[in-house]
Each structure stands twice: as C-alpha cells, then as structure tokens.
C-alpha cells in the first residue's frame, strides 16, 4: 500500500515546502512532487523548516508541468479554497482521505494536489483532478500551504486509525470490583454517621445516594479505592487528635 | 456560545505563539492565554508569524501559574503526546472537540491546554485538566505547538460543520432528465450503427450497455448532454467531409 503523493504546484516559498515536508513526515506520507517551483532548488529555507524530514525534500521529484507531474497517478484529488466553482465532486478532508485510503488499499496510485500560495490551482490543473477537497475554515480565512498539507496528512492517518474516540483510564489500572466499592461506601458512610454528617435522618437516604453516585462517576481502580479508604482512616484519626 | 480558550504553558518561541494565533483565527478561536511565557512579551516573531491574527496576540492574557490561568474554566482538556501514562480519559482530537462543543453549547467555559515546546505539560498542570486529548501521528513523530493548535482548531470547527462528506457537482447545474439521457443514447447509438462501430451484431447489446453505463457514471447535467450531442454532430460532419 503506497500512501498518496503530495504534489505542490508552483510553490513560491521554501518555508512552505519545508513545512509541507515536516507535515508529511508527521503523518506517514513520503512522496513529494513539485511542479515548476518558483524558487531555487534545493532550497535552504525549505531544509530549515523541514527539521528532520530532509529525506523527503531530497527525494522530491520536480516536473515542468502538471501533465508530466500527474502522469503516473490514477486518482488525483485537488485541494481548493472554499466556494470555488468547480464541476467536480467536492469532498470534506475526511471523506477525501477515506477515498484515497480505499483506493490505495486496492493498489491504485493516488495523489493530493495543492495549488501555489498566490493563485491556487489553475483550470488546466483542475481539469486533471478526479475530484476536489475543500478544507472548512472560519469566514474569510484560508490556510497556508504547510497548514493545508498538515490537515490532509492528519486525515490520511486518521482514515486508518482505529483508536477509540475515548479511552477510559490507562489499561494498567484494574477497575474496582463492586465488592471493593461497596466496602468503600460502607466505610465512608459509617464514619459520616459517626460524625453526624448524614443529618437529618429524613434526608440520609438521598445524601447517601448522591455521595455514592459521585464516587461511581469517577470509575475508581482497586488501588484508588484503597487510597481513599486510607484517607478516611487518616482524616478520622486527625479529627480525634484535634479534639484531644 | 464561547469557543474554547487556547492556553499555552511556558511557550519558548515567539514563532510558535504566532503560528498558534494564526491557526486559531483560521478556525474561529479567539481567546489566547499564556502561562509564564519564556520569551519577551509582546514578541516580534510572534507578530510576524501571526499574519493577520495580531488582534488575538494583543488580547492574549498572561498568568504566572497554571492555577491562575485555568481558574475561570469549567472544562479543561489537556493535549499530550501519544503514550503518556495518564490516569484520565484520553480522547481523540475529534472526540475531544465534540466534548468541548457540547459543553460550550451549554454555557460551560472551556479551554484546551498545550504544553511547552520542550517539556510538555508537567504533572501539576495535568492534575488540573478534566481529560486528555492525544493527536495521532506516525511513529516517533510529534507535532510542534502551531501544528497541534491548528489540528485542534480544525476539529473544533468540524464539530459544528454540517457540510456533507461529498457534494456532487455545483448545485447550479441541473442534472439531466432521463428523457435527455435517452435522447443522447439513441443519438449516439444511431451514429455508431451508421459507422459500423457496434459490430458484430451478437455483441451489439453488450457494447451498448457498457457505453450507456459509462455515460451514466458521469452524472451529466442537461447542458452537458447538449454539449455531447453537439460534439457527435460535429464529429460526424467532419468524418463525411474527410471522406469527400
């Protein structure tokens, strides 16, 4: 499975190409292609900004035209700023990344095409793309080249990432058993009764229920239950000392 | 509805704070808070990188400690590099953004906490966060501060973005009716018959079916059907001329 190539059309600033390479490295993209770069190449500023992803810059391929650069690819998605009038399907970055992933998994050679800093992609370039990806931004704002590559790289990695949306606590901790929790409840309630905190009796049941709910919500580990019971013991001991 | 504050703990480089401000602006975040910045403030390099989001830098609030900085917030999510051993729920950026969005919609004051370039967040800072967000990256890579703020801002905007995953063609174009499509099919097939392209007869039916499928797949507008029929007329005319 080959990840999508990142193809930058007529980039003007070395910094942006360097930032793009760094962004690629972060998310497992490796193939960088430049169409008619409007800068010296190799480029010192690109090297500086690439910090650790210089190998991507060194392997970058340069072509004079979009037709040459795009020749080997079978699925090309072009990124454009919002609202551009195109006669192609427009994907969110997430949907675009999923489409690229599905194609790559089937052995299709894929690429993401980014326009230059000023002018974006011209109509000839757009006509070579299968479809378009538009990154949502706040009104009147648009992303620079490095930022756009970063977000597409991020969505590319995400498209194969099975990390659950929320992982609760590190797996090393053992959730407390009901027995341990009930032990804690009863220990705490015994001391609160002794301290006349659960008062008046008519409200005791509700107060106990609320305290138990509060404790349940924090999904304690067995170790944490022991820690809290130790705290209760210590607090009670100090109280008696204070009363001496 | 107030968007989450972006809180940077002990940032060291003005460039990163500027890039963070620019990233915030892109996605509609406005409130920037710095904890004990390890740089001059105001900062020239921050201004340079902020390009157009200087208002966010000027309104930034500075606090000496995390306790002071986080005081007003009711839901604080801390970003950490992958794999850090924390005893808190770990969210993907997407799930974290949804949680922040839901809380903000209910009037809860929310914040996203980012560690400094070198050390990240210390244990005292982590202890003030409700939960953790971890951004997935390729192995052995991590994001810089500006990149991390960009991705969280992006997910924040996305969490309220109802753009369909794929928008097919601009809405201005009217999809061709079945009548128009059938008109095109019959026109094309008549000319192909005349040109003896649909040959031998035993294969005609399959060939016609494949050609029709190919045309259907491109989901033509009414205008495009007219264009193609014009192309057929023109091609046929040229052929007869060529044969003269």
Structure tokens belonging to residue A232? 């209760």
Helices (H) and strands (E) in chain A, counts: 10, 8
A167 part of a folded domain: no
User: Among residues of chain A, what percentage have pLDDT more than 70?
Assistant: 94
Is the CB of A171 inside 8 Å of chain B's CB atoms? no
Q: Helix or strand or coil: residue A80?
A: strand
Per residue in A49-97, pLDDT tens?
Answer: 888 899 999 999 999 999 999 999 999 999 987 555 677 889 999 999 9
Given a cut of 50, whether residue B244 has pLDDT beyond it is no
- Nearest CA distance, A139 vs chain B (angstrom): 8
Q: Is the dihedral of CA A65, A68, A73, A74 positive or negative?
A: positive
A99 and A130 together in one domain: yes
A18 part of a folded domain: yes
Interface predicted TM-score (ipTM): 0.82
Within 8 A of B150 by CB-CB distance, chain A residues are 147, 150-151
Question: pLDDT grade, residue A172 (50/70/90)?
Answer: low
Of B109, B126, B158, the residue that ends a domain is B158
Task: Summarize the confidence of residues B172-201 as an average pLDDT.
Answer: 91
d(CA B91, CA B98): 10
Is the CB of A101 inside 8 Å of chain B's CB atoms? no
Of B158, B193, B228, the residue that ends a domain is B158
Domain count, chain A: 2
Given a cut of 50, whether residue A244 has pLDDT beyond it is no
Is the CB of B81 inside 8 Å of chain A's CB atoms? no
Of residues B20, B23, B21, the one with CA closest to residue B117: B20
Question: pLDDT grade, residue A236 (50/70/90)?
Answer: confident
Is the CB of B217 inside 8 Å of chain A's CB atoms? no
pLDDT of residue B76: 95
- The residue of chain B nearest to residue A166, with distances taken between CA atoms, is B91
Is the CB of A26 inside 8 Å of chain B's CB atoms? yes
Q: What is the CATH number of the domain that holds A196?
A: 1.10.8
d(CA A42, CA A3): 24
Question: Which of these ranges, A235-244, B36-45, B57-66, has the smallest mean pLDDT?
Answer: A235-244
pLDDT of residue B170: 60
Q: Are B101 and B1 in contact (CB under 8 A)?
A: no
A89 part of a folded domain: yes
B172 part of a folded domain: no
What does each C-alpha distance from A27 to A59, B25, B147, B187 come to in angstroms? 17, 24, 12, 50
Within 8 A of A27 by CB-CB distance, chain B residues are 137-138, 141
Task: Summarize the confidence of residues A139-153 as an average pLDDT.
Answer: 90
Q: Kindly give the pairing relationship between strand A90-91 and strand B166-167.
A: antiparallel
Question: Which of these ranges, A125-129, B2-6, B94-98, has the smallest mean pLDDT?
Answer: A125-129
pLDDT of residue B117: 81
Task: Summarize the confidence of residues B114-134 as an average pLDDT.
Answer: 89
Given a cut of 90, whether residue A168 has pLDDT beyond it is no
pLDDT of residue A171: 59
Given a cut of 80, whether residue A170 has pLDDT beyond it is no
Within 8 A of A143 by CB-CB distance, chain B residues are 26
A12 and A113 together in one domain: yes
B209 part of a folded domain: yes
Task: Summarize the confidence of residues A15-23 as an average pLDDT.
Answer: 95
A36 and A69 together in one domain: yes
Within 8 A of A88 by CB-CB distance, chain B residues are 169
pLDDT of residue A124: 86
Question: pLDDT grade, residue A169 (50/70/90)?
Answer: low
Peptide bond preceding B208: is omega within 30 degrees of 0, i.e. cis?
A: no
Given a cut of 90, whether residue B175 has pLDDT beyond it is no
B236 part of a folded domain: yes
User: B218: domain range?
Assistant: 178-243
Task: Summarize the confidence of residues A236-242 as an average pLDDT.
Answer: 68
B50 and B121 together in one domain: yes
């Amino acid at each position: 499975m080959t990840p999508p190539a990142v193809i930058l059309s007529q980039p003007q600033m070395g910094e942006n190409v360097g930032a793009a390479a760094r962004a690629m490295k972060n998310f497992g993209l490796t193939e960088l292609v430049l169409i008619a770069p409007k800068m010296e190449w190799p480029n010192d500023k690109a090297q500086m900004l690439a910090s650790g992803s210089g190998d991507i810059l060194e392997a970058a391929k340069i072509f004079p035209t979009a037709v040459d650069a795009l020749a080997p690819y079978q699925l090309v998605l072009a990124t454009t700023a919002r609202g551009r009038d195109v006669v192609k399907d427009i994907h969110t970055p997430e949907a675009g990344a999923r489409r690229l992933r599905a194609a790559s998994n089937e052995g299709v050679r894929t690429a993401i095409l980014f326009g230059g800093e000023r002018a974006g992609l011209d109509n000839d370039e757009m006509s070579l793309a299968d479809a378009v990806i538009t990154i949502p931004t706040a009104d009147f704002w648009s992303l620079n080249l490095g930022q756009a590559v970063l977000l597409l790289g991020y969505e590319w990695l995400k498209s194969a990432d099975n990390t659950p949306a929320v992982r609760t606590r590190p797996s090393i901790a053992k959730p407390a058993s009901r027995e341990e929790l009930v032990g804690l409840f009863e220990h705490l309630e015994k001391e609160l009764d002794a301290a006349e905190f659960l008062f008046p009796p008519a409200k005791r049941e509700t107060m106990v229920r609320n305290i138990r709910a509060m404790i349940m919500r924090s999904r304690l580990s067995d170790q944490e239950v022991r820690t809290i019971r130790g705290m209760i013991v210590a607090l009670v001991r100090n109280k008696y000392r204070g009363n001496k």
